[in-house]
Structure 1
Amino acid sequence: MLGHARAHRAAHISQLRHARPPGPVVRLPHMRVDLVAPPPADLPSGNNATARRWAAILRELGHRPRLRWDDAPGDADLLIALHAVKTRRALLAFRRAHPDRPAVVALTGTDIYGRRNLAPALDAATFIVALQPRALTALSRAHRVKARVIFQSAEPPRALPAKPSREFRVAVVGHLRAVKDPLRTALAVRELPEDSRIVVRHAGRALSESFARRARAEMDRNPRYRWLGELTPGRVRRLIASSHLVAITSLAEGSCNVLSEALAAHTPVVATRIPGLMGTLGAHYPGYFRPRDTRKLTRLLRRAEGDAAFYRQLAAACRRATPLVDPRRERAAWRALLAELAARRP
Structure 2
Amino acid sequence: MKITIVTPAKKGDRSGNRATANRWATLLRKLGHNPQTLTEYDGRSCDAMLAIHAWRSTDAIERFRTALPDAPLIVCLAGTDIYRFQKSHPKETLRSMAHADALVCLHDLVGRAIPKAYRSKLHIIHQSAAPLDRRPPLKRDFEIILAGHLREEKDPFRAALAARHLDPSSNLRIFHFGRAHDPQFARDAQREMRGNDRYRWFGEIPRWEVRRRMSRAQAMVISSRMEGGANVVSEAIMAGLPVIASKIDGNMGLLGGDYDGYYRVEDEAALAQILARFEEDGPFRKRLASQIRKLRPQFTEKRELGAWQNL
Fold shared by both chains (TM-score > 0.5): yes
Aligned to 2:50: 80
Aligned to 1:126: 101
Distance 1:182 1:325 in 2: 25
Is the 8 Å Cα contact of residues 165 and 269 (structure 2) preserved in structure 1?
no
**Unmatched runs of 5 consecutive residues or more in structure 1:** 1-30, 338-346
Shift of 1:37: 1.1
Aligned to 1:89: 59
Is the 8 Å Cα contact of residues 71 and 87 (structure 1) preserved in structure 2?
no
- Note if 1:323 corresponds to 2:293: no
Aligned to 1:107: 77
Q: What SS does the corresponding residue of 2:51 show, helix, strand or coil?
A: strand
Shift of 1:240: 1.6
- Note if 1:280 corresponds to 2:254: yes
Q: What SS does the corresponding residue of 2:202 show, helix, strand or coil?
A: strand
The 5 Å alignment of 1:1-346 reads 31-114=1-84, 115=87, 116-117=89-90, 118-157=93-132, 159-337=133-311
Q: What SS does the corresponding residue of 1:148 show, helix, strand or coil?
A: strand
Distance 2:18 2:216 in 1: 25
Shift of 1:73: 3.5
Distance 2:11 2:252 in 1: 29
Matched residues, number:
306
Is the 8 Å Cα contact of residues 263 and 322 (structure 1) preserved in structure 2?
yes
Distance 2:202 2:35 in 1: 33
Distance 1:38 1:108 in 2: 12
Distance 1:40 1:315 in 2: 36
Q: What SS does the corresponding residue of 1:229 show, helix, strand or coil?
A: coil
- Over the matched positions of the two proteins, sequence identity in percent amounts to 40
Cα shift readout 1:188-236 (whole Å, capped 9, x = no counterpart): 1113222111011100001111110110111111111110110111111
User: Which one-letter code corresponds to 2:296 in the other structure?
Assistant: T
User: Which one-letter code corresponds to 1:237 in the other structure?
Assistant: R
Distance 1:94 1:127 in 2: 15
Shift of 1:139: 2.4
User: Which one-letter code corresponds to 2:62 in the other structure?
Assistant: L
TM-score, normalisation: structure 2? 0.95
Cα shift readout 1:163-208 (whole Å, capped 9, x = no counterpart): 1122210000111111101111111111322211101110000111
Is the 8 Å Cα contact of residues 9 and 15 (structure 2) preserved in structure 1?
no
Distance 1:64 1:162 in 2: 42
Larger CA deviation: 243-252 vs 159-168: 159-168
Distance 2:62 2:228 in 1: 22
Distance 2:258 2:42 in 1: 44
Distance 1:74 1:198 in 2: 53
**Unmatched runs of 5 consecutive residues or more in structure 2:** none
Shift of 1:71: 4.4
Distance 2:287 2:134 in 1: 20
Distance 1:288 1:199 in 2: 19
TM-score, normalisation: structure 1? 0.86
Distance 1:137 1:74 in 2: 35
Is the 8 Å Cα contact of residues 82 and 107 (structure 1) preserved in structure 2?
yes
Q: What SS does the corresponding residue of 1:266 show, helix, strand or coil?
A: coil
Distance 2:12 2:117 in 1: 36
Cα shift readout 1:31-50 (whole Å, capped 9, x = no counterpart): 11111112343331122111
Write out the 4+ residue segments of structure 1 that deviate beyond 6 Å after TM superposition. none
Distance 1:71 1:207 in 2: 26
